[in-house]
Chains A and B, each alone.
Chain A
Amino acid sequence: MTTLVYLIPVALFLGALGLSGFLWALRSGQYEDLDGAAERILIERDDKPER
């Protein structure tokens, strides 16, 4: 019982961390262009980042 008192919050915290990570990725537009992201990894960029 006592282990549960801290194990459940830990489990929920980790889950919530994943959830907030997903929501952040969604908001910052990382799902806008899935096909493009897959291809862009093959493009050699100049040293300066574009944006």
Chain B
Amino acid sequence: MDQKLCIIAACTAALAATPAHAAPVSNSDGTARVRILEPLAIFKVDDLDFGTVVISNTQGGTVTMPSNGNPRSFSGGAEGVPGDPGNRAQFTVVGNPGQEIILTHSVPLTLTNAAGDDILVINMWLNGSPLRTLSPVDGREQVYLGGTLSLAADQPEGLYEASFTVTVDYR
């Protein structure tokens, strides 16, 4: 009679060991992402040229080159020589289509001629917001600059020049 009981106990134990099936594993997928942007480049198309200006010998004046493509305007004793009307500055920015950019630029204090005479720069400005979006089609943006110069009465003749820098960065 005793032997019969033992057999049943052994069977039960065997069943308990069965969980050789691995417990379910939780899987999760992640994504690795990288965004390669075309390098940003800026090219100068045109300098900021105020053209040729005549200034009275008794009255100073100003010359303004608009950034929107309109012709120059004058005040005081300054007049423009029609044969040399000048032009606004133009730069082309090229980069990733649709990407936002930020523009900054320096403003020279004066323009100077070879003899060392100075013309005061009142201001220089962009043709719109410094925050732009590159074209979604070709990744370009045209940037224009205008400015105003203050001319002294009897400003000495000559070609006056100064350099400025336009900087662009992805936003």
Please say whether chains A and B are actual partners in one complex.
no
On B, residues with C-beta under 8 Å from A are: none
